[in-house]
Amino acid sequence: MPYPAVAAPGSPGKSVWGMSSDKRIRRVGPQGRGARVRMPLRRLAAAAALVCHSSPAWAHGAAEWLSADISWAVSFAIAAAVAALLLWRYFGVVRSNRDLVAARRRSDEAARALAESEARYLDIIEDSQLGVQIVGRDGGRLFVNQAYVDLAGYDSRDELLNAPPAVFVAPHERERIAGYRRAMLRGEPCPATFEIDAVRKDGAPLRVRIFQTGILWKGEEAVQRTLVDLTESKAIEEALRASEKRLRNAQRIVNIGDWQRNYRTNESVWSDETYRIFGIDPSRQPSFDLFMSLVHPDDRAKLIEATERGRETGEPYALDHRIVRLDGQERIIHEQGEIAFDENGSPLTFSGTAQDVTEIRRVERGLARSEARFRSVIETGGAGILLCDEQGRCELVNPELARLIGRSQAECEGSPIADFIDPADAPAFEAAFRALHPDRDSRLETECRLVHSAGDAVWTSLNLTVTRENESGAARYIAILQDITDRKRAEAELARKTDMLDLARDVAFATNHAPSFEQAVKDCIQRICAFTGWDIGHAYVRDRDDRRKLVPLDSPYLDDAVRFGAYAALTAATEYDEDSGFVGRVILGRGVHWQNSFPHDALNPGRRSLEAVRVGIRLGVGAPVMAGDKIVAVLEFFATESRPRDDALCEVLLQLGTLLGRVYEREQAAEILRGREIQLSQIIDNVPYRIFVKDRNGRFLLVNRAAAEMFRLEPEDMIGRTLRDVYPDKDEVARFAEAEREVLESGRTVHRPEERFRDADGRLRYARTIKTPYTTQNGERAVLGISFDITEEKQHQEQLRRAQRMDALGQMTGGVAHDFNNLLTIILGNLQLLGRRLNDDSLKAMASTAESAAQRGAEVTRRLLAFARSQPLEPSSVALNELVSTITDIMPSSLGIDVGLEVRMAENLWYTLVDPAEMENALLNLVLNARDAMPHGGVITVETMNMPLPDGFSDGHSVLPPGDYAVVSVADTGVGMSEDVLARAVEPFFTTKEIGKGSGLGLSMVYGFAQQSGGGVFIDSAPGQGTTVRLYLPRNENAPETLREVGLPTPVQGDQEAVLLVEDDPDVRAFTATALANLNYRTLEAKDAASALSIIDSDVDVDLLFTDVMLPGGMDGRVLAIEARRRRPSIPILYTSGNWDIIHPGDGSDWLSNDAILQKPYTQGDLGDMIRAVLNRPGRKGAVS
């Protein structure tokens, strides 16, 4: 594109020059005078400017300047300079073009080299033994080499590339490595090298180190990761650490530490063991000076001399020296050191070890002392020692060996060693002696008998060793002989005890597997006699009736029945007291009695003793059978050969007595258990629960009496039968069987909180049943069932449920009545206001009719409140007989000619505390209900009575606490009520009457009144049998007061007092404000407590606060009154509410003690009377209109 044209300085008639697309300066405008002469200069200047990269405007300006009237000489000089500049620029352009061509050629060569480099790079990656992968921005793999595929454990590269991106990374590492990739691609700091846990395809864990860097891969930003498998290296590191730990442990065990000193830096390094040996804290810096300060002052000189000698000669040194540790201990250190030199012969490092040899040197000194004593040991030691030559001739014999064989040392020396060996052991000894090799260290260890000169055999332990004084010396044999005669005797005794243990094991087996105590005794006696060879064995046991007497067991063991038959017969016929005979001696000694003479009492022998002498008995052994610490039986053994007392055998007999005692205890326990089973069976039969056991087929294996009585059967009559055989309801039988099948199949206990069934009389009963797995004595699975009759419990629960339901209905109806009272306040109040303003008589009549209807609605509300126990009551002490008499006197005319009335009043009827008006209303409702229940006539009976209830009482409707009650009952002979109707009788609005003939609030009002008065209502009824309603009222000890009329002050107009009206319902607030205005009061209105407090906090006069109790916003009327009194202490307060539960919460609080309340619904007249009463008597207690 050409540069823009630029006008030369001067008039518009001058030429205009510009540059064309070929960068040549051309004229583009008209020419003036003299332009032809100056044109070369202009062109020259413009070209020079262009070459020098000046702007076209500057070039044109220069041309005009050069074309001015200047001298030709100057113009020529300037032109020459410009021409030279043009030539210089021209050759520069030529050179630039040549450079551009060369640069293009180099660029092409670089591109080819880059392509070749990328190819070589990929080849290198493919050939690399390290795993390499390239991942893109989304984490997907763009490239992996074969090493990465092998490391991940995949079969092919395509399989890995198609796998999920994070498949090789351990799950807990994936978020971390993804964060590294995102950070690197965003240019944020992230580690270039890190380690992660990986998982191969086969699940094998790996530990890898990753080197990552950002790259461009096919024009896309990517991350290259190179992976190094650290699994083996980690294992090697662990092995190295373990090796180092073993080295430290080894150094610690042998008390060797190492150290090194650097001569150039004068720094020292000590191992942990070196610190420990020197008693230095490892945190302290080691140094040569520190070490020298520990060396004992007397040993420093020799240590320095050794180190200097090593420094001069280059030879290692070793020496012992002492150190004095910081804790004052003196230790002996064996130190070895060596100095290393550099190539110039200068000392470089000084390394060595330090070993604590304190204990070793102490042992060595002890060894030296023991060597000094060795000779005396040989001479005076307890072992026989001899030295003989290769032919076995004795050269040296110590005194102990001479003593063993009963000869002198002189007699022994020169004699062959074989002469001292017992002939029975000599052949074996000589063969072993010849087998010893004289050229090697050989040893012969054996046991053999020596022959004492007196002929006795002496058992010895022989240790024969071959030794040489030097390599060329003759062989010598050193023999050490230790007298082991006592040990051999002990071994023989041990072998015998082993036999005893085998015997004990045999008798233990017999006691564990015998079916009875008597059989166990017989089996054990037989085994003892077989082991010892004794001829007779039997036992005496305590008599069951007389525990001080012992009687023989039947079937004794006899080695020869013919020889010992008479003795056995005498034994079977002989009984002993526990302090007489052979048995008595065993019991007296409480251990094994061993006797080697018969008869024991030679002056007064018994018949058994004489018979024992006759048959040749020489030995008698008796052992007690112990059950705990009591002797329950005695074992007796007799033999014709006497023998010394054998303590080991006695120990076995004592053990046998203990084992048999346990069998005796088990048998006694079994008998006791059988007795307890009988007792348990009696208990099971007498418990009130039904208990049974059934087998897999449902047959009864056990039934207690309570379960059998349910079917009017005896327990034994049900054994072997099924429930289907005795219970007619097949559906219930199937249901019971299903639970039992579940127990047998699952092995779990099944709970049935409630099961219905009918007893033998057809009455519906309820039971809570538990069925659990049970194993019979035969090992068969069965079902154990325990059934609890919960019929009465269920009845009580139903009564409680009904009472709770009544309470819930009461709360609901109370809330409804409150809302309805608000509506009635609006309706009644506005109807009264409307009636006063109407002049038309017909309209006034309509308003009066509407007002009457609203009054009936108020009566319905009052009955609802009565049911909800929320109506205002004024209780006082009442004589019920007088009240009943008053009501019944006026009732006959209202009952009709077909209904009779009977009144039965108890004498000395207790007083009760009730609201008289509400009591009259309740009695009236009950009588009228009774009348309506007898459409074809009948008799109504009103009765009063005293009813003490020490345990309280409850039914489906009411629950009475213990106490005394005055009762009024109303009974009719009408149609009665079914169970379903009776259950709902006191519910509000529930009625069985025709539409328009009953509101369903009569009984509910009576129920609420009774509950609120602390009593209750109980109804007995059945279809066709009439109904009796009993009203229970708590006894009051105070006599009634004389009733008098109490009224409110006569309504008067206000005197423009300011009334702060607080009401959240806008319609109620509007009516009340109108009524207050009609009553000549000024009204300040507020819809909630916050608005009211803002008025109270202002300077406005407030003569009375009239507030609803229930207000929105978290602050009710009571809290508002408290805040108002805190701000204005003398302000009178009048409350209003349609919910009596709020006014009288029932918790004993009396928050209305200083204020009054107006019950909704109220009229203008009610409002005026109450406000005037409050204003005239500000201290008046709460009142109700």
Looking at residue 514, which CATH number applies to its domain? 3.30.450.40
Predicted confidence (pLDDT) per residue in 451-490, tens digit: 888 888 888 888 888 876 655 567 788 888 888 888 888 8
Average pLDDT across the chain, whole number: 78
Task: Name the 3-class secondary structure at 546.
Answer: coil
With respect to residue 324, please indicate whether it lies within any of the assigned structural domains.
yes
Of the two residues 780 and 801, the one the predictor is more confident about is 780
Tell me if 1102 sits within 8 A of 1079, measured CB to CB: no
Predicted confidence (pLDDT) per residue in 1012-1068, tens digit: 788 888 888 888 889 998 989 999 888 776 544 434 344 468 889 999 999 998 888
With respect to residue 797, please indicate whether it lies within any of the assigned structural domains.
no
Per-residue pLDDT, 1124: 92
* Residue indicated by tokens 């074996």: 428
Predicted confidence (pLDDT) per residue in 579-597, tens digit: 888 888 899 999 999 988 7
With respect to residue 804, please indicate whether it lies within any of the assigned structural domains.
no
With respect to residue 1039, please indicate whether it lies within any of the assigned structural domains.
yes
Of the two residues 46 and 1038, the one the predictor is more confident about is 1038
* Whether residue 1068 sits in one domain with residue 1036: no
* Whether residue 1148 sits in one domain with residue 1038: no
Predicted confidence (pLDDT) per residue in 248-307, tens digit: 665 566 578 888 888 888 888 898 888 888 889 988 899 888 888 999 999 999 988 888
* Whether residue 894 sits in one domain with residue 1007: yes
Examine the fold and report which residue of 789, 812, 840 is the final residue of a domain before the chain moves on.
Answer: 789
Q: CB burial class (10 A; 0-12, 13-18, 19+) of residue 226?
A: buried
Residue ranges making up the domain that contains 15: 6-97
Question: CA-CA distance, 774 to 470, in Å (whole number)?
Answer: 88
Query: Does 713 score more than 70 pLDDT?
Result: yes
Predicted confidence (pLDDT) per residue in 825-877, tens digit: 777 777 777 777 777 776 766 777 677 667 666 666 655 555 444 455 567 78
Question: CA-CA distance, 247 to 392, in Å (whole number)?
Answer: 50
Question: CA-CA distance, 262 to 347, in Å (whole number)?
Answer: 9
Per-residue pLDDT, 797: 67
* Whether residue 1007 sits in one domain with residue 937: yes
Per-residue pLDDT, 82: 56
Tell me if 922 sits within 8 A of 1031, measured CB to CB: yes
Highest mean pLDDT among 385-394, 400-409, 553-562, 1126-1135: 1126-1135
CATH number at residue 720: 3.30.450.20
Per-residue pLDDT, 2: 41
Per-residue pLDDT, 1084: 94
| Domain count for the chain | 8
Query: Does 776 score more than 90 pLDDT?
Result: no
Per-residue pLDDT, 312: 86
Per-residue pLDDT, 988: 63
Per-residue pLDDT, 3: 37
Predicted confidence (pLDDT) per residue in 1089-1126, tens digit: 999 999 999 999 999 999 998 888 889 888 999 999 99
Tell me if 925 sits within 8 A of 918, measured CB to CB: no
Which percentage of the chain shows pLDDT scores above 70? 76
Helices (H) and strands (E) counted in the chain, each on its own, are 36, 44
Per-residue pLDDT, 76: 54
Per-residue pLDDT, 29: 45
For helices 841-867 and 791-837, the axis angle rounded to 10 degrees is: 160
pLDDT bracket for residue 53 (50, 70, 90):
very low
* Whether residue 240 sits in one domain with residue 202: no
Query: Does 1137 score more than 70 pLDDT?
Result: yes
Question: CA-CA distance, 189 to 546, in Å (whole number)?
Answer: 102
Predicted confidence (pLDDT) per residue in 127-159, tens digit: 777 889 899 888 888 889 988 998 889 988 888
Per-residue pLDDT, 860: 61
Question: CA-CA distance, 682 to 281, in Å (whole number)?
Answer: 81
Question: CA-CA distance, 773 to 750, in Å (whole number)?
Answer: 9
Task: Give the N- to C-terminal CA distance of the chain in Å, as an integer.
Answer: 108
Please tell me the total number of residues recorded for the chain in this structure.
Answer: 1185
Question: CA-CA distance, 1038 to 1016, in Å (whole number)?
Answer: 21
Residues facing residue 1019 across a β-bridge:
1029
Per-residue pLDDT, 440: 62
Candidates 1078, 1043, 1075; CA nearest to 1061 is 1075
Examine the fold and report which residue of 1017, 1044, 1071 is the final residue of a domain before the chain moves on.
Answer: 1044
Predicted confidence (pLDDT) per residue in 973-991, tens digit: 988 888 777 777 767 656 6
Ranges of H-type helices in 1013-1153: 1066-1078, 1089-1096, 1117-1127, 1140-1143
With respect to residue 650, please indicate whether it lies within any of the assigned structural domains.
yes
Per-residue pLDDT, 1182: 38
Question: CA-CA distance, 1052 to 1170, in Å (whole number)?
Answer: 10
Predicted confidence (pLDDT) per residue in 626-676, tens digit: 988 899 999 999 999 988 998 888 988 998 888 888 888 888 888 888 888
* Whether residue 662 sits in one domain with residue 528: yes
CATH number at residue 1162: 3.40.50.2300
Per-residue pLDDT, 243: 63
Ranges of H-type helices in 141-201: 146-152, 157-162, 174-185
Predicted confidence (pLDDT) per residue in 1163-1185, tens digit: 888 888 889 888 886 544 433 33
Peptide bond into 427 cis (omega under 30): no
Tokens at residue 197, please?
A: 């846990």
* Whether residue 392 sits in one domain with residue 340: no
Summarize the confidence of residues 1120-1142 as an average pLDDT. 85
Summarize the confidence of residues 168-178 as an average pLDDT. 89
Question: CA-CA distance, 848 to 852, in Å (whole number)?
Answer: 6
* Residue indicated by tokens 């022989």: 462
With respect to residue 205, please indicate whether it lies within any of the assigned structural domains.
yes
Q: CB burial class (10 A; 0-12, 13-18, 19+) of residue 850?
A: middle
Of the two residues 704 and 819, the one the predictor is more confident about is 704
With respect to residue 807, please indicate whether it lies within any of the assigned structural domains.
no
Query: Does 1011 score more than 70 pLDDT?
Result: yes
* Whether residue 1034 sits in one domain with residue 965: yes
Examine the fold and report which residue of 789, 820, 855 is the final residue of a domain before the chain moves on.
Answer: 789
* Whether residue 956 sits in one domain with residue 912: yes
Query: Does 116 score more than 80 pLDDT?
Result: no
Query: Does 43 score more than 60 pLDDT?
Result: no
pLDDT bracket for residue 916 (50, 70, 90):
confident
Tell me if 816 sits within 8 A of 864, measured CB to CB: yes
Residue 17 dihedral angles phi and psi, to the nearest 5° = -115, 150
* Whether residue 499 sits in one domain with residue 566: yes
With respect to residue 829, please indicate whether it lies within any of the assigned structural domains.
no
Tokens at residue 325, please?
A: 């540790």
Per-residue pLDDT, 289: 87
Question: CA-CA distance, 144 to 383, in Å (whole number)?
Answer: 83
Query: Does 441 score more than 70 pLDDT?
Result: no
* Whether residue 397 sits in one domain with residue 320: no
Per-residue pLDDT, 967: 93
* Whether residue 342 sits in one domain with residue 258: yes
